[in-house]
């Protein structure tokens, strides 16, 4: 498992980019909550599916009801899902589309497309994106959030994330919103710590009262 060295990241970014040096001084050291890095891939992706197009509070309520369908479990496994019907899952608040996504996720965990907790830590970011986006309803952005918040990968730059683009546009004083391609190209100078930059760009928006890191 890769662990982000935030001190090394700060030194590298401060040297590579004067704007980042200013953000580091302004906002101090950022971090990722370590307890989030221990969830199994099935749980992480199931939670991500639940959060799609919903507020964090509503998603948490639905997930709480969902877990209660499996007495004695902190969170069900992929195989546990076979014990409940679609109608039971629908009754706790999941849409039919999300139920289909959960079923596909469970099937791909069982057939090995979605790797186990032990195996996922041995895969590259690119391999994880390729395998997890094979799941219905799981796109690259969702996997990038998993790479950052659940696996603690150090070099992820989600260029399609609106908050990241807005944070960059504001921090760098641009007159027009940055395009994903331009952000990706500029971000080459931040390697291998683009995740840390992502956290700072979200912090720029949070400090301005306009959101921040997404809930997944």
Instruction: Return the CATH number of the domain spanning residue range 6-32+155-207.
Output: 1.10.1670.40
Residue 214: per-residue pLDDT? 58
Q: pTM for this one?
A: 0.86
Q: How far apart, in whole angstroms, are the C-alpha atoms of residue 51 and residue 72?
A: 23
Question: In this structure, what token pair is assigned to residue 65?
Answer: 């009801």
- In sequence order, which ranges of 121-160 are alpha helices (DSSP H)? 125-132, 140-149
Mean pLDDT across the chain: 92
Q: For 69-125, write each residue's pLDDT tens digit.
A: 999 999 999 999 999 999 999 999 999 999 999 999 999 999 999 999 889 989 999
Residue 37 has pLDDT above 70, yes or no: no
Q: What tokens were used for 146?
A: 């998993």
- What count of other Cβ atoms lies within 10 Å of the Cβ of residue 114? 26
For the chain, where do the domains classified as CATH 1.10.340.30 start and end?
36-149
Enter the tokens of residue 166. 């807005």
Range in 157-161, 184-188, 205-209 the model is least confident about: 205-209
Q: Which residues are tagged catalytic?
A: 161
pLDDT at 3 over 80: no
The tokens describing 72, both together, are: 């004695």
CA 132 to CA 161: how far, in whole Å? 18
Which part of the chain is CATH 1.10.1670.40? 6-32+155-207
> Under CATH, what is the fold of the domain 36-149?
Endonuclease III; domain 1 (1.10.340)
């Amino acid at each position: 498992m890769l662990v982000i060295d935030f001190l090394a990241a700060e030194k590298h970014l401060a040297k590579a980019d004067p704007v980042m040096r200013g953000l580091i001084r302004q906002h101090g050291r950022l971090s990722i909550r370590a307890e989030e890095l221990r969830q199994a891939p099935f749980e992480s992706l199931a939670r991500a599916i639940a959060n799609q197009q919903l507020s964090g509070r509503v998603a948490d309520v639905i997930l709480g009801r969902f877990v209660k369908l499996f007495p004695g479990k902190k969170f069900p496994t992929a195989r546990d899902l076979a014990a409940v019907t679609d109608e039971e899952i629908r009754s706790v608040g999941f849409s039919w589309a999300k139920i289909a996504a959960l079923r596909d996720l469970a099937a791909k965990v069982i057939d090995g497309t979605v790797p186990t907790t032990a195996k996922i830590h041995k895969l590259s970011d690119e391999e994880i994106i390729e395998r997890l986006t094979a799941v219905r309803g799981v796109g690259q952005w969702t996997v990038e959030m998993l790479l950052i918040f659940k696996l603690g990968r150090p070099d992820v730059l989600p260029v399609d994330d609106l908050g990241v683009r807005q944070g960059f546009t504001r921090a760098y004083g641009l007159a027009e919103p940055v395009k994903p391609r331009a952000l990706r190209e500029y971000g080459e100078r931040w390697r291998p710590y683009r995740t840390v930059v992502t956290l700072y760009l979200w912090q720029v928006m949070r400090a301005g009262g306009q959101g921040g890191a997404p809930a997944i």
